[in-house]
Chains A and B, each alone.
Chain A
Amino acid sequence: MRWVNRHMRRNDRMIAGAVPILALLVLYLVMAAQRHALNPGDKILPLPDAMARGLSALLFQADPLSGHFLFWTDTFASLERLGLGLALATLSALVAGLVLGVLPPVRATLGPLVTGIAVIPPIALLPVLFIALGLGETAKVALIVVGIAPPMIRDLTDYVASLPREQIIKAQTLGASSWQIMIRVALPQAMPRLIQAVRLALGPAWVFLISAEAIASDTGLGYRIFLVRRYLSMDVIIPYVAWIALLAIVMDFALAQASRRLFPWAHGASH
C-alpha cells in the first residue's frame, strides 16, 4: 500500500504521536543521569527532583523581598501583556483587514504602507518603542502589537479581497451597500480566518513578549528565565519553558475549538 494511503486509526495516531515525545524525555533522563553519575552537582541537565525543588520554591514560597509567589506573578504578568497585545492586534487586524479588503480605494492608499511596516523587523523597533513609550508595560504590549499586527492585517486583507467576486456582486444585486457588504458578507467570513491568523501569530507573540521582558522588566516568565540564567539555574529555566509551551498549546487548542463551535459552516460538513 502506498504511504499516502496509509491512514491511521485515532488510537494508533495518538500512540504514534506520543512515541517521539516520550523518546526525547527518556533520552534527556538518560543523559542527565549519566552527567549526575560523574558529577552529582551538575546544573546543566537537572534531574526531575531538582526541577521540582527549583519550581516549588517559586510556586509555594513567597519571595522575601516582594512577598509575592513569583511563579504566579510571572505567569499573570506575562499573560496580561500577551493577552492585551493579542487583543489589540486582533482587533486592528479585523478592522483594517475588512476595510482594506472590501474597499479598493483604501487598499490602494494604505496597502503599501502596511506592507512597508510589515517588512521591518519588529525587534529593530524595540529601542524606538522604549524611547517613545518608556520602559513600562505600554512598550512591551506595543512590541507585541507592532510585531504581529501587520502580517495579520495583510493576511486578512488578502483573504477578504479574494472572496469570490460573484458574492460581492450578488450582495449588491440584493441591495447591499458597501457597509452592509462589510458587516454581513465579509466580516462573518473573515472570522474563521482571523482565528487562524491569531493561532499562527501566537508563536511570534511569545517571542516578542519574552524579548521585551528579557530586556526591560521586573516580572514575567521571560524576565525570570533571563534572570536565573546568570546562576545557570536550568532547574528553573526548563520548567518555565515547559510551562510556556503548555500555555501556548492550550491557547492554540482553545482557539481551534472556538472556531469549530462558532463557525461550523467553515469547517466542512460536520455540523
Chain B
Amino acid sequence: MTALLTLRDVWVEFGDKIVLEKINLDVAAGSFVSIVGPSGAGKSSLLRLVLGQEAPTRGTISLDGAVLPPECGPDRGVVFQRYSVFPHLTALQNTVFGLECAQSPLLARLFGRARRAAQDEATAMLEAVGLADALHLYPAQMSGGMQQRLAIAQALLKRPRILLLDEPFGALDPGIRADMHVLIRRLWREHALTVIMVTHDIREAFSLGTRVLALDKRRHDPHAPHRYGATVVYDLPLRPREDAPPMQDGAQEEQQATPQKVAV
C-alpha cells in the first residue's frame, strides 16, 4: 500500500501559539479518512495545510511523492461548510467553471462545440449528485443541501487526486445529512476517490470513514494552554475499501475496530 499523501513531522504555529505539533501521517490512495476532535484542535488547520492554503511552520507534506507547493491547485478539491459555490453563477455555470479555466486561459469562457461538450460533462456530473432539475438555479435559490451537492459536483469534475471536506454537512438538517452520506459514499466508490473529511459528528466519522483520526492535545499546561499543540491521538483503521458496508450499519462498526493509542 503506497501512501498518496504523506505528512512528516509537521508543525503549525501562529506566533508563540502552537496549534499542531509533530504530525506524522500517511494517507493511502482510496481511503476515506475522517478527522474528529474538539473545537479549536486544529482540524481545519490540518486541512488547510493539505489544501495548500497555508504552509506548515516545520515539516514536509508530499502528494504522490512530490513536495506540495504552498498553493492550492486542481489536484486537490475542496468543499467547505459554507461559501463553496459562486453566488453569481447558476448551478451549471458553477460546474462548467472548472473546465473553462483549464481550456480557456485568457477568457475563462468556452464557445461553440467546446462549450457544449463542457456543458454536457457538467450536466452529467450534476445529474450524478441529484441536481438534474436545478441546472439553471442560482445558489440563493437552492437549499443548503443542494448547494453542498453543487460544491461536490464542482470539485469532482476536476478529478482531484484527493477531496478535502471541512464539515461539509455540518449546516444541514439530519434528514438531508443522511441523503448526503449516501451520496458521498456512492461517489467515493464510483470515482475511486481519496477523501479527507473533518466532522464534529462522531457517527458520521465512523459510518463513512475507512479510518478515523482524532486530533487533540496530548499534553496540557493549564497556565499556558498555547504552549502545546494538538496531534493525532487516535488512529483507528476501520475497514478496507472493498468490504465497505451499506450505509445504515455504520454505527456497529465502531465496536469492531479496536482503538489503538498511537505511540509518540
Mark A residues whose CB is within 8 Å of B: 164, 166-167, 169-177, 179-180, 183-185, 188-189, 263-266, 268-269, 271
Contacts and interface: CB of A to CB of B under 8 A. Distances in A.
Contacts of B80: 166, 169-170
Contacts of A265: 87-88, 138-140
Interface string B219-234: 0000000000000000
Given A175-B101, A271-B141, 10 more contacts: A167-B84, A170-B78, A170-B86, A173-B51, A174-B158, A179-B105, A184-B100, A263-B88, A264-B138, A265-B138
A169 B105 contact: no
Given A184-B108, A189-B88, A170 B154 contact: yes
A180 B108 contact: yes
Contacts of B160: 173
B83 A175 contact: no
Contact of A174 (B101, B140, B141): B101
A56 B193 CA distance: 78
Interface of chain A: mostly helix, strand, loop or mixed: helix
Contacts of A264: 138
B102 interface: yes
A9 B141 CA distance: 26
21 contacts: A167-B83, A167-B84, A169-B78, A170-B80, A170-B84, A170-B86, A170-B154, A172-B72, A173-B51, A173-B73, A174-B155, A175-B74, A175-B98, A175-B101, A175-B102, A177-B101, A184-B109, A265-B138, A265-B140, A266-B88, A269-B140
B138 A271 contact: yes
B53 A180 contact: no
B76 interface: yes
Nearest to B157: A174
B105 A173 contact: no
Contacts of A174: 74, 97-98, 101, 154-155, 158
Interface of chain B: mostly helix, strand, loop or mixed: loop
Contact of B108 (A166, A170, A183, A268): A183
A188 B87 CA distance: 10
Contacts of B71: 172
B82 interface: yes
B75 to A, nearest CB: 9
A166 B84 contact: yes
B114 to A, nearest CB: 15
B37 interface: no
Task: Report, nearest first, the 8 A-B pairs whose CB atoms are least far apart.
Answer: A174-B98, A172-B72, A166-B83, A164-B83, A175-B74, A180-B108, A175-B101, A265-B138
B253 to A, nearest CB: 31
Contacts of B89: 188
B77 interface: yes
Contact of A169 (B51, B106, B107): B51
Nearest to A187: B88
B87 A175 contact: no
Given A166-B82, A167-B83, A180-B108, A173 B88 contact: no
